[in-house]
Structure 1
Amino acid sequence: MRKSLVLLLLYTAISRADTCSTIASQTNIDVAYPLELDYIHEQEKYWSTSCISLKPSCILFPTSAAEVSTILQAINEGDESFAVKSGGHNPNNYFSSVASGPLISTARLNEAILNSNTGVLRMGPGNRLDDIAKKLQGSGWTFVGGRIGNTGTGGLMLGGGLSYMSAQYGWAASSALEYEVVLANGTIVTASDTENADLARALRGGGNNFGIVTTYTLQTYRQGNIWGGNVIFKHDDKVASNLLRAVRDFTEYNIDDRAAVIVTAERSTGLVIPELIDIELLDTWILFLFYDGPTPPGNLFRNFTEAGVPIANFAKQRTYSEYISGSNWVVVKGSVVQIGTETIPLPSSQDSDVVMEGIHEHWRSVSSKTLLELGGIASIAYQPFPKAITRQAKARAPDLIDADDGADRLILELNYSFIPQIDYEKMGDVLEETYTGVRQRVLGWQEEGILSDVYCPIFMNYGFYRQNYWERLRPESRAFAQQVAAKYDPNNFFRNRTGGWKP
């Protein structure tokens, strides 16, 4: 009798700790286990194979906020770690991936309902950016999303979201009017500027610390055909100097907020670029040009397109949907992906060469260590962060990034991809050396008076797990996030049970 009671108690404890079996036996929520097709298919959708290799105990597929609430209540009964996955773009292990715990996939929270009169869109986090662009195609409305179509909307919005249209409308999160959120205890609430406004602000740049967003209500904007595409140059010192000068000057002097650029340098022992450009030994510059209209003014991008003799120029008029879905070639399949970032003050025109070429020389020196890595690809993207973005963001909604509009900046995205998963930490050291070297140079130039001493938060959507996102925000923003987390998650459920940067 006593043995039976012990076994019963043991079975009960195991059952309480096993969210997968609880959800499978007591609800109609779809649960996929290892070796099942839904599990395999969903697990393959991460950008990095390091995340794919982390095997959750099951994958849960809720279709509503109520079902997410049920799942969180079940997880609360045990002590498992868990993760929430939108598009799987974030390559940091355990941020949207988990080993031996339940994974909540938002794939079936994929509604996209547009009010064609007002442009207000109700969007689920299960959509990717190209999904939304396709669903809005032909409506005359567009959304402020990211630049790579395969990116999930959930993580993008919670990190802020940098868009080709940010100089017009601010961060992607700046256009969020309302959030439907499931809190740690399963309570479903609305967050907006008039209801739970502190939570709404915290969700704009606060990551996954406050709840699971099941619906975003967004303002979209009028748009017809756009112009854009990639322009590719083979690297040489003159092209590099011209492009680094061009992106610096564009950030300060461009007055047409419909225009955007990303200037990317790529190095690899081999990579196939779409549209039949095959380069065995890659050392190139790949530009992403964008204009929110059918044709840009004639000289707008001349400093970029005439930086040298391009290998190829694919810029043309097209729909936004075609453009953003056509960017998915940048997703490197079958590789470990690591992304880091830095934000730097824009150097003056006088000091442009010292700063821009100094940073680029540092990147080339460090990235050379990766070129013999199996499948190694190194890239650096120079992305304008002009005053116009912060002006538009502040005009629309408060956020935790809280950048001032008194200075222009550049956001650097640093990417390394490679095949051997065993080299995850070794390559992480190289990435850390890259962004740390940039930071040290910036601080040195500030001491010398070459760069202005301005607030430079790092951008969550590009952050490496070793970087401290919260320490780079204003102290007031971090304190506010801590207050909001304590209010809406007093038991530290999200802090203790899932990954990500914690305030």
Structure 2
Amino acid sequence: MRFSAIASFSWFLFGAAFASGEESRSTCDELAFILPNSTFYPEAPAYNASISSYPFLQLRLHPSCIIRPKSARDVSQAISVLKDSNCTRFAVKGGGHNANAGFNNIQNGVTIDMQSLNDVEVARGDKVVRVSAGALWQKVYDTAEKRNLTVLGGRIGVVGTAGFLTGGGISFFSPEHGWACDAVVNFEVVLASGEIVNANATSQPDLYAALKGGQSNFGIVTRFDLKAFPATTIWGGRTVYHPNATIPLLTAFTEFKSGEYDPYAAGWVTVRYNHTAATFNPVSIMWYTKPAQKPGALKSILEVKPQIMNGRVEAPVSEHTRNASRMVVADPKRTIWATTSFSISPTIVHRIHALWKEVVPEVAKQYAYAKPVAEITFQALPAPPRNGTSPNSLGFTAAETPEKDLVFLQIIFTFDDEAATEGFEEALKDFLKLIEGLAKDEGVLHRYKYLNFAASFQDPLASYGQEQKDTLREVAEKYDPEGVFQKQVPGGFKLF
């Protein structure tokens, strides 16, 4: 597998700097001495519960031990031990939803599982929701709604807060309010030195901006303070169409993206191919955040016929996220995905779909034993920060309008058998080349790659632009001068 090859290369590159399984077990013993109630070995029920909590099977690696900190101080103590070992590799798990193997767990080494650090509280006179980094979005919404509040967060309840926010984050309310990371008013962060700092608009503002898109390169976030706003119901959900409706649905999505911008319309359009059943199924999952004005710009998408199932409801955000979670956790499988972005045109969505539809059955046929399902999903990007608000690190200027102009594509394979992993990864690379070739041909290809949907072989940090990546490197050198998060954390997208 590709990750194994990367790990082998990293061992060659850094030599003895990376610990063997025996050395990592020695580090585990030291961690167990310092954090005896938070360190778990493979024979412990808590260890096995942590491994089984990963939603995708390829993520269920087996570290030498798992640390489940209960406070920022616990994280600080663990980082100090890991840094002093100078060789033990480690990973950090928030919700564990990133599909790239090795990004949130590790084979041998140490995994810091944040799930015990999951407090959620409303503070500052109902203006802020404080979220510990191990909390899942379902708990955040359930807690906030008790005070008639909500936040910019994930659209699936079982997704974790930490990776979502530090990768940018697209919310139900993003068309109106922008990236979810831009609603973070403060990050509590444990640095490689073990120091616990707060990063916000006035304290460590460079780190504050870097964490909004730069993910795991600077430290471990232990708490997010999120801007709260009044909770409302939203209208929408899943609509499944007959296969004959695919072209009309893609036409309606193109018109939606090309027409007048509607800040209350959110969601995506997917075409799904089930190789075992030999069927293509078009689906829209769309929401309107001002139910009294529905369906707004969604009208043409939601009126496409024929429809097989209409699951649209008006409900609190928490109900929508709970419904979405049921589909994610029902039947764990292996999955890999990749992403690219392009400007909308009258033909680009149709051309991408036609190419994918022609090729994907042949790809799936080669690995029929793995019972593959393939998807392509089209959706919009949020707006960058404007009006003098604090910057993020995603690379868009305040003058750009990605929310109006751009579409990002997610290409997915879901399957049963590990033996098919390498083949589907190569297929993802081939699809990206073909699809980006079409976009280049039309002059609509955009550099941006959404980090939370990027494959391990992509470089989303480079897609922010060279100037932004250089700035992120400077911040990483400042707050982690010894490169602990570059060298000892093999997973994630790196700056060096």
Q: TM-score, normalised by structure 1?
A: 0.88
Q: Point out the structure with max Rg over C-alpha.
A: 1
Paired position in structure 2 for 1:294: 291
Paired position in structure 2 for 1:379: 375
Whole-angstrom distance in 2 between the partners of 1:83 and 1:36: 19
Any idea what the Cα deviations from partners look like across 1:261-319, whole Å, max 9, x if unmatched? 2101111145xxxxxxxxx5542111111111334435542211222210010101111
- Pair 301,390 (structure 1): closer, same or farther in 2 beyond 3 Å: closer
Paired position in structure 2 for 1:444: 441
2:493 to 492, 497, 501: 501
2:283 is aligned with what amino acid? Answer: I
Paired position in structure 1 for 2:253: 247
Is 1:30 the counterpart of 2:23 in the alignment?
Answer: no
Q: 1:171–1:393: 8 Å Cα contact kept in structure 2?
A: no
Structural mapping, 1:148-159, within 5 Å: 148-159=156-167
2:172 to 148, 151, 164: 164
| Structure 1 residue 17, shift from structure 2 partner | 6.8
Query: Which runs of no fewer than 5 residues in structure 2 stay unpaired?
Result: 1-20
Paired position in structure 2 for 1:312: 309
What SS does structure 2 have at the residue aligned with 1:256?
Answer: coil
Whole-angstrom distance in 2 between the partners of 1:92 and 1:15: 25
Any idea what the Cα deviations from partners look like across 1:320-362, whole Å, max 9, x if unmatched? 1011110124426331110110111121xxxx13x11111112
2:480 is aligned with what amino acid? Answer: D
Is 1:482 the counterpart of 2:473 in the alignment?
Answer: yes
Any idea what the Cα deviations from partners look like across 1:141-175, whole Å, max 9, x if unmatched? 11111222211111001100011211111111010
Any idea what the Cα deviations from partners look like across 1:175-212, whole Å, max 9, x if unmatched? 01111100112111111110111001000000100000
Paired position in structure 2 for 1:303: 300
Whole-angstrom distance in 2 between the partners of 1:189 and 1:162: 26
Q: 1:170–1:393: 8 Å Cα contact kept in structure 2?
A: no
Q: 1:165–1:258: 8 Å Cα contact kept in structure 2?
A: yes
Whole-angstrom distance in 2 between the partners of 1:436 and 1:58: 40
Q: 2:334–2:414: 8 Å Cα contact kept in structure 1?
A: yes
1:469 to 460, 469, 474: 460
| Structure 1 residue 252, shift from structure 2 partner | 3.3
- Pair 298,264 (structure 1): closer, same or farther in 2 beyond 3 Å: closer
Structural mapping, 1:198-277, within 5 Å: 198-236=206-244, 239-269=245-275
Q: 2:339–2:455: 8 Å Cα contact kept in structure 1?
A: yes
What SS does structure 1 have at the residue aligned with 2:379?
Answer: strand
- Pair 61,394 (structure 1): closer, same or farther in 2 beyond 3 Å: farther
Query: Which runs of no fewer than 5 residues in structure 1 stay unpaired?
Result: 1-12, 271-279
| More deviation, 393-402/226-235 | 393-402
1:243 is aligned with what amino acid? Answer: L
2:430 is aligned with what amino acid? Answer: E
Whole-angstrom distance in 2 between the partners of 1:356 and 1:102: 43
Paired position in structure 1 for 2:74: 67
Paired position in structure 1 for 2:335: 337
1:400 to 368, 393, 402: 393
Paired position in structure 1 for 2:422: 425
- Pair 299,291 (structure 1): closer, same or farther in 2 beyond 3 Å: closer
* Identity percentage of aligned residues: 26
Whole-angstrom distance in 2 between the partners of 1:338 and 1:27: 35
What SS does structure 2 have at the residue aligned with 1:478?
Answer: helix
Paired position in structure 1 for 2:344: 346
Paired position in structure 2 for 1:106: 114
Any idea what the Cα deviations from partners look like across 1:9-64, whole Å, max 9, x if unmatched? xxxx9779722111212334411111321111111122221111x21111101011
Q: 2:340–2:409: 8 Å Cα contact kept in structure 1?
A: yes
Is 1:127 the counterpart of 2:124 in the alignment?
Answer: no
What SS does structure 1 have at the residue aligned with 2:432?
Answer: helix
Q: 2:24–2:88: 8 Å Cα contact kept in structure 1?
A: no
What SS does structure 2 have at the residue aligned with 1:99?
Answer: coil
Whole-angstrom distance in 2 between the partners of 1:366 and 1:15: 47
Whole-angstrom distance in 2 between the partners of 1:334 and 1:16: 29
Shift >6 Å, 4+ stretches: 13-17
Whole-angstrom distance in 1 between the partners of 2:112 and 2:295: 48
Whole-angstrom distance in 1 between the partners of 2:466 and 2:166: 19
Is 1:192 the counterpart of 2:186 in the alignment?
Answer: no
Q: 2:384–2:401: 8 Å Cα contact kept in structure 1?
A: no
